[in-house]
Amino acid sequence: MLEKNIERAGTLQEHVEHNFIGMIKKHDKKLTISMLGGYNVRKFDTNVQELKYKVLREIARLAKDDKLAAGIPGIPETIVPGPVATMRCCIYKERAIVNERIKMALGGHEDVPGEVEVLPIACDECPVSEITVSDACRGCIAHRCANACPKGAISFINKGMHTQAHIDHSKCIPCGKCVAACPYSAITKNVRPCERACKPGAIKMDENRKAHINYEKCVSCGACVYQCPFGAIVDKSYITKVIDLLKASRQEGGAPVYAVVAPSIYGQFSDVTTGQVVSGLKALGFCTVIEAALGADLVAYFEAKELVEKGFLTTSCCPAFVSYIKKNFPKLEQHISHNLSPMAMVAKVIKRAHPDSKIVFIGPCVAKKGEQKQERVRDLVDVVITFEELQALMDAYEIDMSVLEDDVLNNASYYGRVFARSGGVRDAVEEVLRELEIKPEQFQLKPLACSGLEECKLALLKASKGILEENFIEGMACEQGCIGGPGCLTHGPKEKAMVDKYGRLALEKKVKDAVVIFDVLGGAEE
């Protein structure tokens, strides 16, 4: 029975691809650009996010009108009109930073291997002394801090009525032992937000006390992008490539451009429905919109099959997690699922239906931009942009989504859609095993869902030492999963509830149900 069920899952892809191609052709059509008023008004999480949006919007506005080259010099003054500075010491520095952001909006520097870069001119405000002594220090006679210091960096100076600990930062190696030793919690360790956010430890200060990225360690998760309070770290944007594709599609004989949207899109555009976002995408010029969640349904089937065959597996959905394994636990690389990600899985099917088509993935993820450049993905997915960039596109084209009618986006199951949050892949694989009627006595699933790279690291450490009890690791580099991605328009605990609600709205409650729509499982079960 086990072998029969596994074989059935193994033949599923061929059936799905055949039937899904028919579905794509059925819905394939082009819409013209609809100019529908002014910019959508929205409140961003931070001023940094708003600044990023403004630069992207202006770049997109100029690019769509073929005025990019002539218009770029005027962008800094448009965004920073002056005469009074609002963010930095002067409007000239503010405009200089905008100029650097423009470079990132145009794809960044080709010689930089990762998808994020530091803007040195913007990185100058964070504290440089990592270990500091506060006035809470009583200069106690125990001197536990000094005794704990391995470098003899702590001495005591007279502070009026008592002495106080003093740290010689030329000797200090900010190990934090004095912090732990102080009975008054008077010694604190100040960690730069970018360093604290970077779980792979890829960000350090250079000789000029600026943030520096070690790309041999960086996994392009983008956590530093969202957490830097000064916006000194920025992800590369390929928004102009999307505009070029849409322009070309409108020409006679132009290739259709498909939008593949991540399931975490639900609730991102708080002032409009997901159906209105779909209509907005078609108004931009995309021929149709496909859920990446459908690819997640397919991945769940194939990943369940692979897990049963191998006995131990780590997921391949999150490119930052995959990169983290390869760079830090190379011996575990053989256990990474060989399946494509949901993004690439859907793109593969579309390309089979229309080999000349162009595909743009839209989601919350910076690492997906790096995944797109991988050898087995780059011929499937043409461009990756984030929800932030999509908002900029909509406003650059003056598309008011709030006045559009709801369109349909309903291809995937509940389980495909909840891939967007931590535990979603685990739940989907568990469901597939049930649907394939694989009994616990045949194979017992012992899953572990890891939210964020710290949890991933602990699980991988145990796996590398052979002491991990679980046999399936769902790894998500972002905390909470994709809903915590740096390219999201909104961040917060409500996002999990939103994705679960989106999953429950699916007409297909099971993974099998999503496939039955294409008359797949019926043939597979015969």
pLDDT of residue 514: 76
Q: Residue 166 carries which DSSP code?
A: E
Residue 29: count of CB within 10 angstroms of its CB: 9
321: nearest Cα among 459, 164, 152: 459
Residue 80 CB contacts under 8 Å (≥ 6 apart), including other chains: 86, 91, 94, 95, 98
Measured in whole angstroms, the distance separating CA 433 from the mean position of its chain's CA atoms is 28
Fold of 131-189: Alpha-Beta Plaits (3.30.70)
Q: Residue 170 carries which DSSP code?
A: T
Q: How far apart are CA 255 and CA 21, in angstroms?
A: 17
Q: How far apart are CA 495 and CA 503, in angstroms?
A: 12
Pair 310, 81: CB distance under 8 Å = no
pLDDT of residue 518: 44
**Phi then psi for 472, rounded to 5 degrees?**
-145, 115
Q: Is 85 helix (H, G, I), strand (E, B) or coil?
A: coil
Q: How far apart are CA 476 and CA 255, in angstroms?
A: 34
Report in angstroms the alpha-carbon separations of 523 from 103, 153, 515: 52, 73, 11
pLDDT of residue 491: 78
Q: How far apart are CA 354 and CA 142, in angstroms?
A: 75
Structure tokens at 292: 């990446």
Residue 437: count of CB within 10 angstroms of its CB: 12
- Spell out the domain ranges in the chain: 131-189
pLDDT of residue 258: 97
Q: How far apart are CA 40 and CA 89, in angstroms?
A: 30
Mean pLDDT of each 10-residue bin along the chain, 526 residues long:
47 51 48 40 80 97 97 96 88 96 96 95 82 91 95 91 90 92 92 94 89 97 95 97 97 95 90 94 96 92 94 97 98 96 92 93 97 97 97 96 91 91 95 92 95 97 98 96 92 78 86 62 30
Pair 301, 12: CB distance under 8 Å = yes
pLDDT of residue 42: 59
Q: How far apart are CA 521 and CA 526, in angstroms?
A: 9
Report in angstroms the alpha-carbon separations of 121 from 113, 199, 207, 211, 229: 20, 24, 15, 11, 14
pLDDT of residue 23: 53
User: What DSSP letter does each residue of 445-500 carry, written as one string?
Assistant: --EEEEESHHHHHHHHHHHHTT----SEEEEESSTTBGGG-TT-S--STHHHHHHH
Structure tokens at 46: 């931070």
Q: Residue 39 carries which DSSP code?
A: P
Residue 459: count of CB within 10 angstroms of its CB: 19
User: What DSSP letter does each residue of 121-137 carry, written as one string?
Assistant: GG---S---SEEE-TT-
On whether the pTM is more than 0.75, the answer is yes
